[in-house]
A and B are shown apart, each in its own frame.
Chain A
């Protein structure tokens, strides 16, 4: 990277993308029936329990007896009174869903036999617990934001499987990668994603994932989740989008520095979260630019000057800049296709 110089004001006209963010919030889905194991204000560490998830939700009808005038609220927990558990309908505890129409004390209860404990993949503070909906956390640490993600949030040791330009083929993944979050360069296909999950990999980070591969993976993920066996969480994060390009140099430099460390891959919002302690963030030159979209997608270089409105192919007039990409002769490009990072 070149030496840092104060950015001149005109550079502000080129969209800026932040390399990392702090104070990100994430939420964990908690559908009716799931039991929260934390309260607002609870500090959690990676691996701490967040909630008990019911995998085979069903609705039972129960008689809820409360002191006069003290009607329970939907979303409250309910358990059979001690001594009455032998009756079949009273055996399971659960969450009150809604009263039966026209009956004050007869309620529908969401319950189930198979329960899984969901842990936090990040350190943070619980800021909201909404029964039947979600648990919201404010994350401690830094986040590298992505374009989209799929699967489930996961945690693992970051490993670089290829260089930033490479593609990872299914044969390149073996059990030696178990428990890791793999950075796989420019792109990965659905077959490699499924193999990675089968090999115990916890997550995949790529510059791009095509819509077709993403949908194939999501369909496979749904089938996995429907099985009674509890699968390990596995997530996939596309840093930039759906069209093939390499990982941006500053992002690749950051990922290299994070290699070997524990990181969390978040699905909502799509991000890679890490503890920034002891990490020197890459410094990006103010005139460094990357082609965000259009014909030269993924190319990097530096911006030389703004050139105002220019006519481009298709007879379209767009605000433009003169840029030098990959050491080639300067060309004019639409500002909307460029991004800075910092």
Chain B
């Protein structure tokens, strides 16, 4: 919940707050209004929000993120269902893969008829391969039978099943209320056309994740930068990369991933292992599971002390799933700015969040990191008119994000006592630091300040480009400059105790009061 007002001829973010379900939005708005009034009465009077109740009539930009609907993905063989499910996973659906080959027909039909299934995606390769030809008929009749039980069921036929007027489409009753949609193959254009179609079918006009992607595009245009947004929320996560090029509209690639929820459904033992693997504190496995279960039902609770560490560990695990399920993004231009968005990142002090992002988004190079602290990007993305949206983003460019700092990640360092030196030319004069492979170096560069850094390595390393000597301009932030000389990808000890100690030593650098 945030209040935006016109101050000095442009829009400014006046304040933000939040609260759990069960707290009326008007109560939160009133809290904000009271605070603005207490902080600057003249401003409140000028904006006409000095009286109780007036904020209820203000124009609102609203969006929601809801639990992902369930998509049954069915194909003749594992070979076909894998790519279909992989694309569907990035389109905001909770995916249940089903395979005909070797399965009991009754089990498959029961799974398709399950009341929790919202839509079915059936597919075949184009043309159908030898391993699936004998099963295509079975596949078509089972899916058509499911739509006879539930005539309103949305059904998507992809790839080899999607020929208009073809044998499979003819199995579906044309007069049923639910649509039968013919879709491209997951192999077409990296699966993007199929992903976009599936995303459009899951409904939700005011969907927060689609809105966030639109806002990221506007931000890239305003900042003239490649912007990546990593959003982790209670019901899912999303990854958006908005690329800017001179003289062209920003291109926006986005993926909404239900499995990237802070606590995905179902929450498996492997998911629990992932969270425990990021915990810098010792917590009993059973108790950790119980606390996570409580966190799922009361997301705003248990947010202090070790609860904050537990939440940030869950956020890291969720971000790891998000990145693993969107590998095609790694082929796009590297972002200049990474934005952490969503409630999961707000659990810890902002400085700890910058390291959490660096832990999971491990791409060699330098990038600024910001936090969508007021969570206003997504609501702004609901503005349909691109120009109006960009104007608002331009007005708010200094308020939208909390600058967390700049992360410089170097890969390909050889094990040695020292790999080179870092020289920071900042306001306080030059500062020289030894670069130790495997370490994280922090340099205080406050928000709003810029510094020039020189990295001098003994051997060539990967900094986005392969070089021994590099000079960069970096921006400051609450976490300052983070020079990350750890492995890419990050390698941690397998045994829990040394792993925890290592994580705790890094955490202590960036988390004031972490000695829980």
Q: Does B23 contact A (CB under 8 A)?
A: yes
Contact check, A32 vs B113: say whether CB atoms are below 8 A apart. Answer: yes
Contact of A102 among B137, B146, B307 (CB under 8 A): B137
Contact check, A243 vs B294: say whether CB atoms are below 8 A apart. Answer: yes
Contact with B along A90-105 (1 / 0, CB 8 A): 0000000111111000
**Chain A positions within 8 Å of B513 at CB level:** 311, 313-315
**Chain B positions within 8 Å of A311 at CB level:** 513
Contact of A293 among B114, B145, B302 (CB under 8 A): B302
Q: Chain A's nearest CB lies how many Å from the CB of B483? A: 23
Contact of B106 among A59, A312, A334 (CB under 8 A): A59
Q: Does A251 contact B (CB under 8 A)?
A: no
Contact with B along A9-20 (1 / 0, CB 8 A): 100111111000
Q: Considering the complex, give the chain A residue whose CB is closest to the CB of B22.
A: A15
Q: Does B24 contact A (CB under 8 A)?
A: yes
User: Given A101-B137, A319-B17 in contact, is the A242-B113 Cβ separation under 8 Å?
Assistant: no
Contact of A336 among B27, B289, B300, B348 (CB under 8 A): B300
User: Given A97-B106, A97-B145, A336-B298 in contact, is the A315-B349 Cβ separation under 8 Å?
Assistant: yes
Interface of B, secondary structure class, is helix
In the bound assembly, the distance between CA atoms of A314 and B511 in angstroms comes to 8
Contact check, B140 vs A242: say whether CB atoms are below 8 A apart. Answer: no
User: Given A74-B145, A316-B349 in contact, is the A134-B115 Cβ separation under 8 Å?
Assistant: yes
Q: Does A195 contact B (CB under 8 A)?
A: no
Q: Does A339 contact B (CB under 8 A)?
A: yes
User: Which residues of B in the span 121-162 have a Cβ within 8 Å of any Cβ on A?
Assistant: 137-138, 140-142, 144-146, 148-150
Contact with B along A280-300 (1 / 0, CB 8 A): 000000000000111100000
In the bound assembly, the distance between CA atoms of A293 and B17 in angstroms comes to 20
Contact check, B105 vs A97: say whether CB atoms are below 8 A apart. Answer: yes
User: Given A102-B137, A147-B297, A316-B348 in contact, is the A130-B290 Cβ separation under 8 Å?
Assistant: no
Contact check, B301 vs A75: say whether CB atoms are below 8 A apart. Answer: no
Contact with A along B313-326 (1 / 0, CB 8 A): 00000000000000
Q: Does A337 contact B (CB under 8 A)?
A: yes
Contact check, B516 vs A313: say whether CB atoms are below 8 A apart. Answer: yes
**Chain B positions within 8 Å of A316 at CB level:** 303-305, 308, 347-349
Contact check, B109 vs A32: say whether CB atoms are below 8 A apart. Answer: yes
In the bound assembly, the distance between CA atoms of A57 and B107 in angstroms comes to 10
Q: Chain A's nearest CB lies how many Å from the CB of B304? A: 4
Q: Considering the complex, give the chain A residue whose CB is closest to the CB of B295.
A: A293
Interface size class of A (residues with CB under 8 A): 35 or more
User: Given A13-B19, A59-B106 in contact, is the A74-B149 Cβ separation under 8 Å?
Assistant: yes
Contact with B along A21-60 (1 / 0, CB 8 A): 0000001010110000000000000000000000001110
Contact check, A294 vs B307: say whether CB atoms are below 8 A apart. Answer: yes
Q: Does A185 contact B (CB under 8 A)?
A: no
User: Which residues of A in the span 106-159 have a Cβ within 8 Å of any Cβ on B?
Assistant: 108, 110, 130-134, 147-148
Interface of A, secondary structure class, is mixed
In the bound assembly, the distance between CA atoms of A312 and B349 in angstroms comes to 11
**Chain A positions within 8 Å of B146 at CB level:** 74
User: Given A9-B30, A133-B115, A316-B303 in contact, is the A15-B23 Cβ separation under 8 Å?
Assistant: yes
In the bound assembly, the distance between CA atoms of A314 and B304 in angstroms comes to 6
Give the total number of A-B pairs whose CB atoms are below 8 A apart.
166
**Chain B positions within 8 Å of A16 at CB level:** 22-23
Contact check, A314 vs B514: say whether CB atoms are below 8 A apart. Answer: yes
Q: Chain A's nearest CB lies how many Å from the CB of B346? A: 9
Q: Does B10 contact A (CB under 8 A)?
A: no
Q: Chain B's nearest CB lies how many Å from the CB of A79? A: 19
Contact check, A15 vs B19: say whether CB atoms are below 8 A apart. Answer: yes
Contact with A along B89-120 (1 / 0, CB 8 A): 00000000000000001100110011100000
Q: Chain B's nearest CB lies how many Å from the CB of A83? A: 29
Q: Does B86 contact A (CB under 8 A)?
A: no
Q: Considering the complex, give the chain B residue whose CB is closest to the CB of A33.
A: B106
In the bound assembly, the distance between CA atoms of A336 and B21 in angstroms comes to 10
Which B residues are closer than 8 A to A by beta carbons? Answer: 17, 19-24, 26-28, 30-31, 35, 105-106, 109-110, 113-115, 137-138, 140-142, 144-146, 148-150, 286, 289-291, 293-294, 297-298, 300-309, 347-349, 511-514, 516
Which A residues are closer than 8 A to B by beta carbons? Answer: 9, 12-17, 27, 29, 31-32, 57-59, 73-75, 97-102, 108, 110, 130-134, 147-148, 210-212, 241-243, 292-295, 308, 311-319, 334-337, 339
